Chain A
C-alpha cells in the first residue's frame, strides 16, 4: 500500500534546500486547521466510540458534564461485549445472528464474484481493443450507480409472480419461488433464499470493480513471458495455467481481501431490499448497528460495542491487506 509505505520513506532532499522561517510558518499555520479538523472528525470519534462501548449510553439521558458520560449513563465495563456474545436480550441475539449472516454473505459473495470476474477478464483480454473498452465500460456501469436506485431495480426484478425473474424462470420451464425475498422456509444448502437473492443482486452491482482490476492486471503481464512459454511449446491452456495464473496471484489475493472488506460493510441492499428479513435471515452487523443506534436509539453503548466488533474484524483484514501489498513480487 503505497499510501502507508510512503510514511516510512526517507525524506529526500528538498528542492529548495532549507526552509526559511517564513516558509515553515506557512506550512505550520496551513496544516494546523486541517489537523485540528482531523482530530475532531476522525480521531475524537474513534476514541469516543471505543469509550462509549464501555458505557450504558443514551443521548437523551443527562450524563455528566464530560460528553454526557457517567451519571445517568454509567460505566459498565465490558458488560456490553458480554451481552453481545452471551446475553439473551433481543438486540444481542439478533446481533449474533447478524454476525453469522454477515460472514455467510461474504463467504458467498467472494467466490461468486471471482467465478464471474476472473474468466470474464481473461476472455475480455482476448478481444480487440475497441470492444474491450466498450464491454468494460458497460460492466462497470452498476458500480457507479446509486445503490438506492439499484435496490429499487432488484425489488422489481424479484417481485413475486410477475417480476422479470419469475417470468424468465417460467419461460425456461422452471418453477419460480412464490416469494423471492419474504419466504423464511425456502432454504438451499443451508442458505435462505432471501440471502441468495441479496448475494446475486450485490454481485451484479459490484462485479465490475474487480473485473476492471483483473483486466488491468492481465494487461500488465509482460508479453515476453507469454511468448517465451509459447516458444517452449506451451499450448494456450498451459500458458494460461502456468504463466498467467501464477502472475495473477497477488492481484487476486489483494482483490479478495478488498472484496471481503467491502462485503462486510454492505448496507443499502440489506436495509431496503429485505429489511433484514425474513425472520432476520438477512440481518447484518451494519444493519444491527444502524437499527440499535438510530431506529431504536436506546443504547448507543451497545451499538458502539457492535461497531467495535466489526471494526476489529475489518482492521484485521486491513492488516492482512498491507502484508500482501508489502510483499515484493517480481516478474
Chain B
C-alpha cells in the first residue's frame, strides 16, 4: 500500500467513515437492545407513556412466568424445536454426504440426469410445493405430528451439491487402498470419507439448524395443537393470545433469539464467510 499522508482531510474522512459505521451499528442493535431492556420492565412501566428507555425496577418476572406457568408448555415447545432441529441436522448431514460421495466418486450411466433431478429442488420456491406437500402430509397421516416437519425435508439438494464439491477434491488413493484391503463401499464412505468432512458438515449443520429453528410458515401449516408447537409458533401464539401482556411477548421473543445468538457468538466469522460463499454457488 502506498503511504497516505495523514492530512486533516484524511483524518476527517476516517472519522466520517467510523461515524457512518457506528450509526449503522446503533441502527442494527438498538431494536434488539430496546426489546431486551423492555422485557425487564414490570407492567406499570410497560404501560407508561412516554416510556423510560431503561427499566427503573428491572424484573425477571416475565421470564419466570414463561418458564414456570403450567398453562405455557414451554418445555414441550423447546423440546419440539430441539428435536426437529437435531433430527433434520442429522438426517440432512447423512443424506447430503452420502449422496455427495456417490456423485463425486462413482461414474455410472444416468448420473448427470440423476443429479439434475436433485438440483430441481433448488429452483423450486417453497410456496409452489407448499400446497401439494400439505395434501401429501395429510395423506401420510402426519398432520399435527413433528414428523411432518422432518419427513418432507430429509434430502437437501444444496447440501448434496456442497458435499459433492468437497468430496471431489479428496484424493482417491486412500479409497482404492481401502478397497484392496477388502473394505465395503459403504465402509469407505463411513470410515474414510466421512471422518475427513468435518468443516463442510459443520457448516451445513449450522445452517440447517438455524433454518429449522427459525422456520415458521411450514410448521404453521402442519401443526395445530399447543403441545406440538415449535418455538416460533409459541411466540406468535403469545402475540395473539396475550396481546395485553407485552412483557410476556417480549421475553418470549428474547428466549427465541438467545440460542441462535449463542451459536453465533462463537461461530460468527465462519457463518458470515459461509453465507458469502453460498450466494455464488
Task: Evaluate contact between B18 and A45: CB separation under 8 angstroms.
Answer: no
In the assembled complex, A52 has its CB within 8 A of some CB on chain B: yes
Task: Evaluate contact between B214 and A137: CB separation under 8 angstroms.
Answer: no
Contact with B along A198-210 (1 / 0, CB 8 A): 0000001000110
Contact of A27 among B31, B51, B106, B158 (CB under 8 A): B106
Task: Evaluate contact between A146 and B256: CB separation under 8 angstroms.
Answer: yes
Residue with the greatest number of chain A CB neighbours at <10 A, chosen from B111, B131, B217: B131
Task: Evaluate contact between B281 and A152: CB separation under 8 angstroms.
Answer: no
A contact residues around B260 at 8 Å (CB)? 144-146
In the assembled complex, B5 has its CB within 8 A of some CB on chain A: no
A contact residues around B50 at 8 Å (CB)? 162, 167, 170
B contact residues around A290 at 8 Å (CB)? 127, 130, 217, 221
Contact residues, A161-207 vs B (CB, 8 A): 161-162, 164, 167, 170, 204
Task: Evaluate contact between B130 and A167: CB separation under 8 angstroms.
Answer: no
B contact residues around A49 at 8 Å (CB)? 128-129, 131-132
In the assembled complex, A133 has its CB within 8 A of some CB on chain B: yes
In the assembled complex, B166 has its CB within 8 A of some CB on chain A: no
Chain A residue with the shortest CB-CB distance to B172: A15
Q: How many positions in chain B have a CB within 8 Å of any CB in the partner chain?
A: 101
**Interface hit among A74-82, A84-92, A105-113, A304-312:** A304-312
Task: Evaluate contact between A135 and B21: CB separation under 8 angstroms.
Answer: yes
Contact with A along B86-110 (1 / 0, CB 8 A): 0000000001001100100111100
Task: Evaluate contact between B236 and A272: CB separation under 8 angstroms.
Answer: yes
B contact residues around A325 at 8 Å (CB)? 280
B contact residues around A304 at 8 Å (CB)? 131
A contact residues around B117 at 8 Å (CB)? 35, 38-39, 43
Task: Evaluate contact between B108 and A27: CB separation under 8 angstroms.
Answer: yes
SS of A interface (majority): helix
* Contacts A149-B235, A209-B275; A156 near B131 (Cβ below 8 A): no
The CA-CA distance from A311 to B120 in the complex, in Å, is 13
A contact residues around B254 at 8 Å (CB)? 149
Task: Evaluate contact between B127 and A127: CB separation under 8 angstroms.
Answer: no
Contact with A along B252-264 (1 / 0, CB 8 A): 1110110011001
22 contacting pairs across A/B (C-beta < 8 A)? A6-B161, A14-B105, A14-B106, A46-B129, A48-B135, A59-B138, A126-B17, A136-B272, A140-B272, A141-B29, A146-B260, A147-B214, A154-B31, A162-B49, A204-B28, A204-B31, A209-B275, A212-B276, A307-B128, A307-B130, A310-B127, A314-B125
* Contacts A15-B172, A212-B276; A42 near B129 (Cβ below 8 A): yes
Shortest beta-carbon distance, A118 to chain B, in Å? 12
**Interface hit among A18-26, A93-101, A240-248:** A18-26
Contact residues, A99-139 vs B (CB, 8 A): 116, 119-120, 123-124, 126-127, 131, 133, 135-139
Task: Evaluate contact between A137 and B154: CB separation under 8 angstroms.
Answer: no
Task: Evaluate contact between B20 and A307: CB separation under 8 angstroms.
Answer: no
B contact residues around A123 at 8 Å (CB)? 17, 20-21
In the assembled complex, B210 has its CB within 8 A of some CB on chain A: yes
Task: Evaluate contact between B125 and A311: CB separation under 8 angstroms.
Answer: yes
Contact with A along B22-59 (1 / 0, CB 8 A): 00110111111011001000000000111100000000
Task: Evaluate contact between A142 and B256: CB separation under 8 angstroms.
Answer: no
Shortest beta-carbon distance, B10 to chain A, in Å? 10
In the assembled complex, A327 has its CB within 8 A of some CB on chain B: no
A contact residues around B121 at 8 Å (CB)? 38, 42
* Contacts A19-B107, A124-B21, A135-B25; A31 near B99 (Cβ below 8 A): yes
Going nearest first, the 6 A-B pairs with the smallest beta carbon separation are A15-B172, A45-B132, A45-B129, A149-B253, A26-B185, A148-B232
Contact of B210 among A59, A144, A152, A157 (CB under 8 A): A144
Task: Evaluate contact between B246 and A258: CB separation under 8 angstroms.
Answer: no
Q: How many positions in chain A have a CB within 8 Å of any CB in the partner chain?
A: 103
In the assembled complex, B268 has its CB within 8 A of some CB on chain A: yes
A contact residues around B107 at 8 Å (CB)? 11, 14, 19
In the assembled complex, B271 has its CB within 8 A of some CB on chain A: yes
In the assembled complex, A323 has its CB within 8 A of some CB on chain B: no
Shortest beta-carbon distance, A217 to chain B, in Å? 9
Task: Evaluate contact between B235 and A41: CB separation under 8 angstroms.
Answer: no
Task: Evaluate contact between A148 and B49: CB separation under 8 angstroms.
Answer: no
Task: Evaluate contact between A216 and B276: CB separation under 8 angstroms.
Answer: yes
The CA-CA distance from A258 to B152 in the complex, in Å, is 25
Residue with the greatest number of chain B CB neighbours at <10 A, chosen from A31, A123, A212: A31
* Contacts A3-B161, A157-B34; A133 near B269 (Cβ below 8 A): yes
In the assembled complex, A230 has its CB within 8 A of some CB on chain B: yes
The CA-CA distance from A322 to B202 in the complex, in Å, is 28
Task: Evaluate contact between B214 and A146: CB separation under 8 angstroms.
Answer: yes
B contact residues around A260 at 8 Å (CB)? none
A contact residues around B31 at 8 Å (CB)? 153-154, 157, 164, 204
Task: Evaluate contact between B106 and A146: CB separation under 8 angstroms.
Answer: no
Shortest beta-carbon distance, A210 to chain B, in Å? 9
